[in-house]
Structure 1
């Protein structure tokens, strides 16, 4: 009693399962390096503990090589991170990839949810077939059912030929649905049928067809709150919330930020066929200090812009065009009433975009908003993500 738990690992030849708090995962990894076979992070469900113990017993009885600290290394090339949250994410990716369970990836916009989905697919038994990726927010509401589930010829005006949907195209593979929180309720009902019955029915068809699809979904929204608001089906929520992976925002990843920045800089220089550049100390300090509301995507854009504009081998802080003292746009708007009578010419383009969308989204659909702003629907969606303005759902009567 009173001795460090690691002494027990050294004193026995029996497999040791570590129980640790989430904040002590680093010590759990060190314990695994000393010989512990696995760990389970608190808080955990009773069933999760039983499953972990059962796995250790099975593996030990069969003489199978047990878990090692290698589980915490990036699962695929291109994934970078050594902070506690990312190492736990890497470990969970490896675990869920070996199953056919539905996976829900949660994280802010720009954190790399599709990269995680690709890693799961690449490590799965379905990796021989191409993963099908769909951004639910980028497809017009009146077309999304046809895109996902296909349609028969003549099913609606403009349906001049039978079309295979993306769910069917993913047969034998993985279907990744990004921004599933934007999926209309009608399409949610069809997706639920896919999960429950493993079958689809094309728009305009009376016949169903069996499909073998592994579903991975992602969102930056609070699906539980969407269920409460009547914008997301409760039964579908429980169907997709089998295995949940949480991607931390870039601002919470500590030294990962500079590690990522260096890797992105090398990759960007190679892609743009420019000599390899480096960051000045001031640029590195700015990168580490900035909160990166757009996460990795914003970091990639800032670095690409700097590489294009660089006139020598060192990138200075000014080329990154980031303001370390500037509050997030959503925070600014929250403090300013929409009805404020500030002159339009005094607003920045970002402020004008935010105000226009908030003031007109109840009166216009996405197509009309985009047309008035002189941009495409896709560009409108991208700016909504960047500025944190989710699209409002229409309540059913």
Structure 2
């Protein structure tokens, strides 16, 4: 939850801004002038949103005083020159009044994300073998993951990691444990999908001798084995309902009872759970307890799939290739240009695990010093069907200037093209994306909308549940 300071002398605007930001899970404080803002210590916040014209000193005075906290300046359309001056003085951005709610929220999210990205570094992790390694990737989505790990690890709260199979959920759990206060205690990892349903309660909570057929001796469960440390339950969505009820008691009361025992034991365990399934949807069908879901989802970390990490795919491939070469004693192997292109364009439904397997296969099959696409053994990625001769191209997704190359759009004027493109794509693109595709600024996009009478489509707002 980000902390935001609003500096605005008009109470109506200030309170409206506060309500808007609080509805989107930000913690907000208010000030009516630079002097009042300084009393609240702006450096304690993640972002300062300040009006340009304030009683006494102008809002730009907060730029050096709040540093390194970014300052977002609010100004009217009539004073754009002042906004430009504010940017030159170090303001992170500006929003024009009267501002559009969606645009303001988008700007705030972008600034906060940029701020978090500058601070986030991949955490160091020690593998069970004792080998040190670092999480790989610098794309914006992974920067958010690193920031969430850094903030969550010392808090000693329950964590829910969500992501597709093969995205590295156990790696994140290991990073959280090793950066927590429990790092010297054990980390017990359990794959709930790999244990038969009839045995999972015994495995997790233990049993007494004679509790059931085959229980020839008492056994300590994995929850108790993690006492003082961290328990990582992978694929928790596969946990049977009876085991879910027992786990809920562990989270609520810190107590376990072995199967066949009448005594309860106190345990001090931090739980990290992971799943590739939608637990909330499972709770609606009765497959997962809603009360357990709420207990698990204190902090949530969403891992992006590999297909959404374009900037990282080849970097990850190079690191995994080096490890595979060492394992198979084939130092010096490299990916050919075609293989790198294949890896970059492939959708990777199995994520990092699939990439690792493909590279291992390539190292084994490669002849010479280069790994070629055939060595990787990837199934061909689906390609878009070529357009029929003479048919118009389906999208103007490239820059606006490409319209001149399309025979179907040769007779369109620039204004016609603008209107055609915006109306066709505004349901799928944000204002920022539209402006980038057209090669113009957001301000120019807004002005052309006004001139041509093109209304801006509003995305439907979700009602609070």
- TM interval, short-chain normalised: 0.5 to 0.7
| In the alignment, structure 1 residue 73 sits paired with structure 2 residue 129 | no
Normalising by the residue count of structure 1, what TM-score does the alignment of the two structures yield?
0.68
> Which residue of 100, 104, 114 maps to 2:170?
114
Q: Is the 8 A contact 2:334 2:370 kept in 1?
A: yes
* CA deviation after TM superposition for structure 1 residue 215, in Å: 0.3
Secondary structure at 1:119 match in 2: helix
| In the alignment, structure 1 residue 12 sits paired with structure 2 residue 65 | yes
1:214 and 1:325, CA in 2 relative to 1: closer, same or farther beyond 3 A?
same
The residue that corresponds to 2:271 in the other structure is 215
* CA deviation after TM superposition for structure 1 residue 276, in Å: 2.9
Work out which structure has the larger RCO, using CA pairs closer than 8 Å and 6 or more positions apart in sequence. Answer: 1
CA–CA separation in structure 1 for the residues paired with 2:163 and 2:91: 33
| Coordinate RMSD, CA, aligned | 2.8
* CA deviation after TM superposition for structure 1 residue 7, in Å: 6.8
Moved over 4 A (4+): 6-10, 67-70
* CA deviation after TM superposition for structure 1 residue 323, in Å: 2.4
Structure of higher CA gyration radius: 2
1:259 and 1:199, CA in 2 relative to 1: closer, same or farther beyond 3 A?
same
1:109 and 1:14, CA in 2 relative to 1: closer, same or farther beyond 3 A?
closer
1:310 and 1:182, CA in 2 relative to 1: closer, same or farther beyond 3 A?
same
Aligned residues: 287
CA–CA separation in structure 2 for the residues paired with 1:8 and 1:202: 64
CA–CA separation in structure 2 for the residues paired with 1:164 and 1:143: 13
**1:278-317 to 2 correspondence within 5 Å?**
278-317=334-373
* CA deviation after TM superposition for structure 1 residue 245, in Å: 0.1
> Which residue of 164, 171, 181 maps to 2:227?
171
CA–CA separation in structure 1 for the residues paired with 2:272 and 2:123: 17
1:290 and 1:211, CA in 2 relative to 1: closer, same or farther beyond 3 A?
same
Structure 1 gap ranges (5+)? 20-30, 37-41, 45-51, 53-66, 328-397
The residue that corresponds to 2:207 in the other structure is 151
The residue that corresponds to 2:150 in the other structure is 94
1:9 and 1:298, CA in 2 relative to 1: closer, same or farther beyond 3 A?
farther
Secondary structure at 2:280 match in 1: helix
* CA deviation after TM superposition for structure 1 residue 270, in Å: 1.6
**1:12-91 to 2 correspondence within 5 Å?**
12-13=65-66, 16=69, 71-76=119-124, 77-91=133-147
The residue that corresponds to 1:368 in the other structure is none
Normalising by the residue count of structure 2, what TM-score does the alignment of the two structures yield?
0.58
Q: Is the 8 A contact 2:116 2:144 kept in 1?
A: no
Secondary structure at 2:149 match in 1: helix
1:13 and 1:312, CA in 2 relative to 1: closer, same or farther beyond 3 A?
same
